[in-house]
Amino acid sequence: METKVVKLQTQGKKVLIVEDDFYVVKFLNMALKPLQLSLIHTVNGKDSVDRVKNDPEIALVLMDIKLPLMNGYVATKEIKKIRPELPVIAQTAFALAGDEEKAINAGCDEYITKPLNRKKLITLIQKYLTK
């Protein structure tokens, strides 16, 4: 029997992880490995905006909200001015009433709370990268 190699629809697509917590970045790298994404990383909102400006191949942004220099809400607003079609998924430890609404109002397309649910995160990423 011949084995078929199936290319994932997400394979090679570039995802920007905006996260200042080393352990969360490590988790995301491991959790997203099966999707065969090209993962890049910044640690603050300002750098994430600059990266999006200079890299048109970024297909999705995973945006932490509590960041140094520029928080995720402001960074998302700036990113959406540059590339309104670029999907941004807020990933945050903030889980208070109204926080999801604040993220959506800032331009985030989705909102997921920490600790991150790997299966839910992968489903959200696939939703935007396999259109």
Query: What pLDDT is recorded for position 15?
Result: 98
**Residue 64 pLDDT > 80, yes or no?**
yes
**Residue 3 pLDDT > 50, yes or no?**
no
Higher pLDDT, 29 or 1: 29
Distance CA 37, CA 98 (A): 31
Is the CB of residue 53 less than 8 Å from the CB of residue 78?
no
C-alpha angle 54/120/59, rounded to 5°? 15
Q: Considering Cα of 37, then 40, then 44, then 50, what sign does the dihedral take?
A: negative
Query: What pLDDT is recorded for position 9?
Result: 84
What homologous superfamily does CATH list for 14-129?
Response regulator (3.40.50.2300)
pLDDT tens profile 76-97: 999 999 999 999 999 988 667 7
